[in-house]
Structure 1
Amino acid sequence: MGRGEREAVARGLRLYEAARGVAGDHGRAVEAVRAALRPLHDEVVARELDALPVARLQDVTEGRLRLGTVEKSGLGTVGRVLEAGPYRLRQVPGVGQRTVTQILAAAARLAEAVHETVAVHIDVDRPEPRTTALVMALHVLVEAGPDGRRAVDRATALAERLGPLLAAARPATGALRGLLAGAEKRARAWAAVDELRSLADEADRNGLHESFAQASVDLLRPPDELAAWAGFELRSAEYYSLLAEISGRAPDTAAAEGFLPEEVAERVRGVRLDDSLRRVSLRGYQAFGARFALAQRKVILGDEMGLGKTIQAIAVLAHLAAEGREAAGERQAAGGRERFLVVCPAGVLVNWTREIEARSALRVTVLHGPDRQDAFADWKERGGVGVTTFDALRGFPAPEADEVAALVVDEAHSVKNPEAKRSKAVALWAERCPRALFMTGTPMENRVAEFRNLVRMLDPGVADALDGDDGRGGQAALGGSAVLVGSVAFRKAVAPVYLRRNQDDVLTELPSLQQTDEWEELSASDEEAYGEAVRAGNFMAMRRAAYARPEKSAKLERLREIVEEAGQNGQRTVVFSYFRDVLDVVRQTLASGAAPVFGPLIGDVPAARRQRIVDDFAATPGPAVLLAQIQAAGVGLNMQAASVVVLCEPQIKPTLEHQAVARAHRMGQVRPVGVHRLLATGGVDERLVRMLERKTRLFDAYARRSAVAEATPDAIDVSDTELARRIVEEEQARLGMTDASPTASG
């Protein structure tokens, strides 16, 4: 029992106390969040119960209760029943003790269900002491960051390991203790001393004492109210993610796992995600998405817009880079020699570069512009993440097998046509890379076959397993049941390569989305312009005829009212249109208003300039308006600063509208979003809206986790050209222009 043994035990004890200290500091920070959350959550529960009619008690008693007299007595909601209690209920005529017991038991069950499901929403525009306390408590944990979380996790695991070792090593700390202990205990003590020494040495090498001390400093730092609210508005997703984790009201597990078959989900759960090169925490469903890509190797991540597909992709790359560095047995520069390639539309190239740099320690090289070949050679030599565009990819030599560790393709629906040159280039790279992650919130639009084309690039076997009738199980007949069976079978067949989650399933804290169709009667001037477009057979002119004569435009007048109302409420507005000339008219119309107008964001605006316009719009204090061409700005750019969205006209493809709305209503949004779609009664708008509804039902059946009531064969394969021709002919017939041109020109 020498000095060395005592010193080893003393070092182990110091490490144990440091680990317990940081774990305790974290526990107190978590408890501060729970304490701040409790009264807010109780208030939400009470409000929900007060809104539940007492008739809902029948839902949990299979209709056995007679509640008429209870309701007539003034106890019309579940909340009032619980507040009344047994004595008040017994005073209701015709209600006996047995009924009282049943009513209260049913009410308690509903209250428990509400308690487990409701979420607290934090209103940044109406801060009050209780929400401020919650935001400040969350701010402490958010500011501690991933490094703090890692330190706490290590400390917790280390404390659990050190406690029993210190107890076992006690006989080695003194001669008398050693003599009094039996041979078996002395042997265990020596083994424990050796392990304590090893753990202390490892802690010194990894700087654990310093990381524990820093974590404690961060967790004990008094939060600043202004900094906390500013942090919440900028990074609300992180705050809400922590809140869901601490409250235990995380999204439904099955929903977070995309309702995958159990055998696939089980394999994914077994993947351990390395976060050492990642700078941000993941939400539960995001971590599952990253593990899905790692477990299945070549997949499509089809999460709905706004769920953070980019950070999931970065998590995959950071994991692979850390794994490669560890396998090499050396501490290289972040990312080591591993090579990863991200292919994306030009408009989001800057956004990808920013996200990788901000959210990981990976090296980024932009493979775009006049020097892209030199940049490509540098990336191949030094490794890291190369970011390029679909068009630039065609100019680079395809890699040798396994030369590039992973390929990420953003907005992958852009390569759904297998005959296109960009599609062939992506397919070749996907074949040569051991891992590929295709990302798209819109995996199919008009034809399910397009989705199969994406699957074929990743797993020809799965693609071949999909039958030849657009996944409908050979059912071409009209009717909901046939399509439902086909869509369920389709999703099951693609489960090994396809994961999709929807906002409603996993973002319980997302502010409300209110969509309003603003139907306007065309003015006489509008009608005249529309009639001219119909007579000419010009489909595109028909779609924008409501803006052809701005001085008498009913849609423009309504748009001005919406923007002015938003401005009076201090809200920012994004205005989308398919047409550049419509955006020009809107800009001229709004130029005299109080709110500054930014844009328009159109296809030929360079990517960096697009991002600057969005940044300037977001940085403007008070109301502002951003004009954007829907097919250019509906991809990749995040516009959470906006809480009002205006669609100048309905789109031919529902996915264009979905993408545009999701740019504002997405994870990170902290205010409710109002969407106004400007529609003209009669004519092309009404016909397009009906087509949109049919296309959306088809998309829901095959790409989302939702049943579909009905769909028709022509909802699947009507082309845009055919749709335009049909609408032109129908409108010409409706307006009695049978001698007009039947063409559908643009």
Structure 2
Amino acid sequence: MSEKLKRPNKHAVKAVIKKATGIYDSLTSISVNDETVKQAIIQQAYALMHDSALREMANIPVDALNAEKQGIRVSALRNAGIENMYEVYFMSVQALVRIKGIGEETARKIRRITNEMYDAITVSREVRIDLRQKTPYQEKLLQSLYILRNGEDLRNKARELLAQEKNISTALQDIKVSSGFFRWLFSSKSKRISSVEAYQYLSDLIEGPFGTEAELCITEYGYIVSASSDQVYGDFEENAVAYYTMLEDLGLGAEKTLAGGLPAELVEKVEIYPLDLTYMKTSLRRYQIFGVKYILRQEKVLLGDEMGLGKTIQALAAIAHLKAKGETHFLVVCPASVLVNWQRETEKHTHMSSIIIHGLDKEFEFEQWKAKGGVGITNYESLSKLANRLNFNIGMIVVDEAHLVKNPQAQHTRALMACSRKTDRILYMTGTPLENRVDEMCFLIRCLRPDIARELSTIRSIVATQRFRNEIAPVYLRRVRDDVLDELPDLIENEDWLELNSVEFDSYYMAVKSKNFMAMRRVSWDVHVAYSSKARRLLELCDQARDEGRKVIVFSFFRDTLEKVCQVLGDRALGPITGAVSPSNRQRLIDEFAEAESGKVLVAQVQAGGVGLNIQAASMVIFCEPQIKPSLETQAISRAYRMGQVRDVQVHRLLCVGTVDERIMELLREKQMEFDVYADKSVAAAESLKEEPSIAWIREIIEEEAIRMIALQLEMGNE
């Protein structure tokens, strides 16, 4: 028996111990690394907020110490070379007393005010990643978030490998008996046997499939931990939502309003609703989880979240919950332009199948959906032809861009009403519940909850706003960006006013004279581009965007304007996207734009490119002319300024002085005020706002412009 227990070669034993210990320790470290990384993230986030607060204090002049007339001799500090509150922050009472003119009592007062100022800044400070200021604190935080996000599968793999081989730790202790002559000599027979078995076990383990998988796991995790700054920042730019969600999950998000002003009693009932997101691939923000629970509990809902807050993912999460509870068929109704986008979002965020029901094959596609279930995606026009065939239960109907459902007599509206009888759950979604008339929103509510609509009809005055909000709470939820997102970069809006040259003036005069409103709106674009002030400014802005590493999206209502934009920009332009472009080609252009280098310009008709598409790749938005509806501009801007955007977004409106552009801008401001008063407080008015019909308004504008142009011509003649 002793011959069989020949001690293994000590060098071989030590090699096995070294390799097995390295693998075991590395796997153990990886398996628990998420907790270590989370703690690091919390510490780094506070360090970043501290650094940001100090940077802000550097911009506060030392004069702020005397803002409340506390009798502090600020001049004494200035004479000592102290200019801002950042410098004061690092000075102790003793250091302040050494300054001529500052006594101990004043020094303590300065210290107290400085600390209060710092505390006020840090309390309001939020963790926000700024790509313009890549500080060491920010980079460390992003590095840890990168590891937490990208290493999850490998950490799970490490746990799985360790769970498969639970004897490694014991074997590493037992094998030590074989590592030296005297250990072997003075060990019992049983320990020698265990040592030899441990050596054989560990040798087979590290040289077999386990060792291969373990080393691959360790190597790949090492790549993640040692990722370069460019890799980390690149991943953040592509997945900013995921990064901010991780911060939120760790309690580092700002306390935001999740419920959009709903009554507390309803909020409490919504929050306790049990949610099953088994079929979701993507994590949701806290406000999105509340939205999903609201949709499911209330069953018939108008979700009016501001564009860019993720209404689509909330709808998909609600569908995923119902799928987990046994529902099989779901229907999404949307404009044809975003059919492909809905299918891609379903594939990206869920584990559910989807099929587009549209075009020549819609009959066959409908039967496929009916037989197999999943998410059927169709457009308003196709729905009219399929409604009478919906003779089975639907788990939920989602109506995207629901503000298009505003004419009770329209065929697609009647078809939608017929389909709605096939389900207990209907979700209308729109970021613009208010367009020209506030009562359009009331019509949407009447489609969902006639009982609530009847109550609303009794409210006749603006002073009843609070009552209206309470009445509408069971059916309408709206949150705006400022309520729920603390990480969105700045939105910088600019009005680029341009003087008409003689060629443009003559052309505009002819448009006014002929009373052609559409020609008047094309001011500066209705001349050759060589004479167009707007074309020249557009080119300057696109050059600026290229130099700043930005991409641009250009919007116009008019197709001939878009053609001229493409002519001016040449190879830099992609598109144009118009209503005539198929959904698949539209998505192809957007994908190409997303992959393109900075300086590329996506050209789109505002009615087509401004609806239902995600174009966060753009950080400059240019309007060739002002739009009559504020909703058109708001939708278009929100294509770029939405959750996931990491750069400040610059909006430029190209406008001509002394033209119809001025009157349209006045109209936009008036309508935006209406929107802010009603929609942004989860409330609509029960009667339409007192405004003149659009045709009458246009006639008035034409007449005013004609009178003004005649007076101008007379004035020029007199000169």
TM tier relative to shorter chain: 0.7 to 0.9
More moved, 730-739 vs 304-313 = 730-739
| Shift in Å, 1:35 | 4.0
Which residue of structure 2 aligns with residue 556 of structure 1?
Answer: 535
More moved, 366-375 vs 418-427 = 418-427
Which residue of structure 2 aligns with residue 40 of structure 1?
Answer: 48
1:26 is aligned, of 34, 56, 74, to 34
CA contact (8 A) 1:140 1:221 kept: no
In structure 2, what is the Cα distance between the partners aligned to 1:218 and 1:260? Answer: 47
Q: Say which SS state the counterpart of residue 452 (structure 2) adopts.
A: helix
CA contact (8 A) 1:304 1:501 kept: yes
2:594 is aligned, of 615, 618, 626, to 618
Which residue of structure 1 aligns with residue 703 of structure 2?
Answer: 729
1:582 aligned onto 2:561: yes
Which residue of structure 2 aligns with residue 499 of structure 1?
Answer: 477
Which residue of structure 2 aligns with residue 539 of structure 1?
Answer: 517
CA contact (8 A) 2:280 2:349 kept: yes
CA contact (8 A) 1:597 1:627 kept: yes
Which residue of structure 2 aligns with residue 185 of structure 1?
Answer: none
1:12-36 deviation digits (Å, cap 9, x = unpaired): xxxxxxxx99984321121232344
1:243 is aligned, of 232, 244, 247, to 247
In structure 2, what is the Cα distance between the partners aligned to 1:297 and 1:221? Answer: 47
Report 1:643-662 matches (<5 A): 643-662=619-638
Alpha-carbon distance change, 707 to 259 in structure 1, aligned in 2, over 3 angstroms: closer
- Give the unaligned 5+ runs of structure 2: 1-27, 160-215, 714-719
Which residue of structure 2 aligns with residue 474 of structure 1?
Answer: 460
| Shift in Å, 1:506 | 2.0
1:460-502 deviation digits (Å, cap 9, x = unpaired): 122122145xxxx533xxxxxxx4x444443332121111111
Which residue of structure 2 aligns with residue 634 of structure 1?
Answer: 610
In structure 2, what is the Cα distance between the partners aligned to 1:408 and 1:58? Answer: 58
1:267 is aligned, of 262, 266, 269, to 269
Which residue of structure 1 aligns with residue 175 of structure 2?
Answer: none
1:77-108 deviation digits (Å, cap 9, x = unpaired): 55444333434555789877666555544543
| Shift in Å, 1:139 | 1.6
Return the letter of the residue paired with 2:91. Answer: A
More moved, 142-151 vs 425-434 = 142-151
| Shift in Å, 1:301 | 1.2
In structure 1, what is the Cα distance between the partners aligned to 2:378 and 2:154? Answer: 31
Which residue of structure 1 aligns with residue 455 of structure 2?
Answer: 465
Q: Say which SS state the counterpart of residue 605 (structure 1) adopts.
A: coil
Report 1:478-493 matches (<5 A): 483=462, 485-493=463-471
Which residue of structure 2 aligns with residue 113 of structure 1?
Answer: 120
Alpha-carbon distance change, 147 to 439 in structure 1, aligned in 2, over 3 angstroms: farther
Alpha-carbon distance change, 58 to 380 in structure 1, aligned in 2, over 3 angstroms: farther
Return the letter of the residue paired with 2:607. Answer: Q
Alpha-carbon distance change, 401 to 718 in structure 1, aligned in 2, over 3 angstroms: farther
| Shift in Å, 1:429 | 2.4
Q: Say which SS state the counterpart of residue 295 (structure 2) adopts.
A: helix
CA contact (8 A) 1:252 1:505 kept: no
1:508-556 deviation digits (Å, cap 9, x = unpaired): 1112111110000111111111111111111110000211112211111
Which residue of structure 2 aligns with residue 86 of structure 1?
Answer: 93
In structure 2, what is the Cα distance between the partners aligned to 1:728 and 1:714? Answer: 25
Report 1:673-688 matches (<5 A): 673-688=649-664
Which residue of structure 1 aligns with residue 196 of structure 2?
Answer: none
Return the letter of the residue paired with 1:443. Answer: P
In structure 1, what is the Cα distance between the partners aligned to 2:109 and 2:272? Answer: 44
Q: Say which SS state the counterpart of residue 650 (structure 1) adopts.
A: coil
Which residue of structure 1 aligns with residue 24 of structure 2?
Answer: none
More moved, 636-645 vs 110-119 = 110-119
1:358 aligned onto 2:359: no
| Shift in Å, 1:284 | 1.0
In structure 1, what is the Cα distance between the partners aligned to 2:158 and 2:114? Answer: 44
More moved, 459-468 vs 379-388 = 459-468
Alpha-carbon distance change, 490 to 736 in structure 1, aligned in 2, over 3 angstroms: farther
Alpha-carbon distance change, 448 to 147 in structure 1, aligned in 2, over 3 angstroms: farther
| Shift in Å, 1:691 | 0.7
CA contact (8 A) 1:22 1:215 kept: no
Report 1:445-464 matches (<5 A): 445-464=435-454
More moved, 670-679 vs 395-404 = 395-404
What is the TM-score of this pair, normalised by structure 1? 0.77
1:142 aligned onto 2:149: yes
In structure 2, what is the Cα distance between the partners aligned to 1:348 and 1:363? Answer: 17
In structure 2, what is the Cα distance between the partners aligned to 1:215 and 1:273? Answer: 33
In structure 2, what is the Cα distance between the partners aligned to 1:430 and 1:296? Answer: 15
1:187-234 deviation digits (Å, cap 9, x = unpaired): xxxxxxxxxxxxxxxxxxxxxxxxxxx999998874333543332221
Q: Say which SS state the counterpart of residue 645 (structure 2) adopts.
A: coil
Alpha-carbon distance change, 301 to 54 in structure 1, aligned in 2, over 3 angstroms: farther
- Give the unaligned 5+ runs of structure 1: 1-19, 153-213, 325-336, 476-482, 740-746
Which residue of structure 1 aligns with residue 236 of structure 2?
Answer: 232
- Percent identity reads 39
CA contact (8 A) 2:626 2:665 kept: yes
Which residue of structure 2 aligns with residue 666 of structure 1?
Answer: 642
Which residue of structure 2 aligns with residue 202 of structure 1?
Answer: none
Alpha-carbon distance change, 445 to 231 in structure 1, aligned in 2, over 3 angstroms: same
1:695-716 deviation digits (Å, cap 9, x = unpaired): 00000111114999xx9x9965
1:526 aligned onto 2:520: no
In structure 1, what is the Cα distance between the partners aligned to 2:392 and 2:266? Answer: 25
Q: Say which SS state the counterpart of residue 73 (structure 2) adopts.
A: helix
1:377 aligned onto 2:367: yes
CA contact (8 A) 1:146 1:280 kept: no
1:242-284 deviation digits (Å, cap 9, x = unpaired): 12433x342334x222122111111111012212110010111
In structure 1, what is the Cα distance between the partners aligned to 2:123 and 2:636? Answer: 33
The number of residue pairs the alignment matches comes to 628
CA contact (8 A) 2:76 2:99 kept: no
1:49 aligned onto 2:52: no
Q: Say which SS state the counterpart of residue 547 (structure 1) adopts.
A: coil
Which residue of structure 2 aligns with residue 308 of structure 1?
Answer: 310
Which residue of structure 1 aligns with residue 581 of structure 2?
Answer: 605
In structure 2, what is the Cα distance between the partners aligned to 1:117 and 1:459? Answer: 40
Which residue of structure 1 aligns with residue 195 of structure 2?
Answer: none
Return the letter of the residue paired with 2:89. Answer: L
Which residue of structure 1 aligns with residue 386 of structure 2?
Answer: 396
CA contact (8 A) 1:698 1:716 kept: no
Alpha-carbon distance change, 723 to 56 in structure 1, aligned in 2, over 3 angstroms: farther
Return the letter of the residue paired with 1:523. Answer: N
| Shift in Å, 1:69 | 2.7
Which residue of structure 2 aligns with residue 516 of structure 1?
Answer: 494
Q: Say which SS state the counterpart of residue 370 (structure 1) adopts.
A: helix
CA contact (8 A) 1:57 1:106 kept: yes
Alpha-carbon distance change, 738 to 624 in structure 1, aligned in 2, over 3 angstroms: closer
Structure with greater Cα Rg:
2
In structure 1, what is the Cα distance between the partners aligned to 2:154 and 2:319? Answer: 19
What is the TM-score of this pair, normalised by structure 2? 0.80
CA contact (8 A) 1:665 1:673 kept: yes
- Computed over aligned residues only, the root mean square deviation of the Cα atoms, in angstroms, reads 3.5
1:386 is aligned, of 376, 390, 393, to 376
In structure 1, what is the Cα distance between the partners aligned to 2:108 and 2:388? Answer: 73
Q: Say which SS state the counterpart of residue 283 (structure 2) adopts.
A: coil
Q: Say which SS state the counterpart of residue 553 (structure 2) adopts.
A: strand
Alpha-carbon distance change, 684 to 439 in structure 1, aligned in 2, over 3 angstroms: same
Alpha-carbon distance change, 649 to 126 in structure 1, aligned in 2, over 3 angstroms: same
Return the letter of the residue paired with 1:728. Answer: I
CA contact (8 A) 2:63 2:74 kept: no
